[in-house]
């Protein structure tokens, strides 16, 4: 069963992982956290309209390890809203604001989650659609 709190916890935990991954403060073996959180059929549509599947996202992130090391970087999740809740799926929308140095970028993300007891927060990301926001 999917709960709003499981979705909220997964969104926050994954974005905290991204910050730690990009600044190199988490061991490389922790990439498995991302791999387990994404459904095998996962696909996202980026703010540029590019479609990225599970393998491409994991590979791209692996190459980005430590990319912000030594510089200020943070991700803030805001306005988490459950749009639709089913027994084993949920559609959730949230804002993501990234700050790197003086630059801030934002996006609205809409995600489909599915229940999965074998994952860190009990849900997997099935699909994600991002839309850029003005800072």
To the question of pTM greater than 0.85 for the whole model, the response is yes
pLDDT in the model for residue 135 = 56
For residue 35, the Cα-to-chain-centroid distance in whole angstroms is 11
Q: Can you give the pLDDT of all 135 residues of the chain as single tens digits? A: 899 999 999 999 999 999 999 999 999 999 999 999 999 999 999 999 999 999 999 999 999 999 998 899 999 999 999 999 999 999 999 999 999 988 999 999 999 999 999 998 999 999 999 999 975
Taking the C-alpha atoms of residue 97 and residue 47, their distance in angstroms, rounded to an integer, is 13
The position carrying tokens 């027994």 is: 87
Complete domains list, the chain, with CATH = 4-133 (3.10.450.50)
Residues 74, 98 contacting (CB under 8 angstroms): yes
């Amino acid at each position: 069963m999917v709960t709003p709190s499981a979705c909220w916890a997964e969104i926050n935990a994954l974005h905290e992982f991204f910050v730690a991954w990009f600044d190199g403060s988490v061991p490389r073996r922790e990439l498995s956290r991302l791999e387990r959180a994404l459904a095998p059929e996962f696909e996202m549509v980026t703010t540029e309209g590019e479609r990225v599947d599970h393998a491409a996202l994991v590979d791209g992130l692996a190459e980005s390890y430590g990319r912000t090391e030594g510089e200020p970087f943070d991700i803030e999740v805001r306005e988490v809203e459950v749009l639709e809740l089913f027994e084993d799926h949920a559609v959730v929308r949230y804002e993501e604001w990234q700050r790197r140095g003086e630059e801030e970028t934002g996006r609205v993300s809409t995600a489909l989650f599915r229940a999965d007891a074998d994952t860190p927060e009990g849900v997997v990301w099935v699909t994600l659609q991002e839309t850029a926001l003005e800072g």
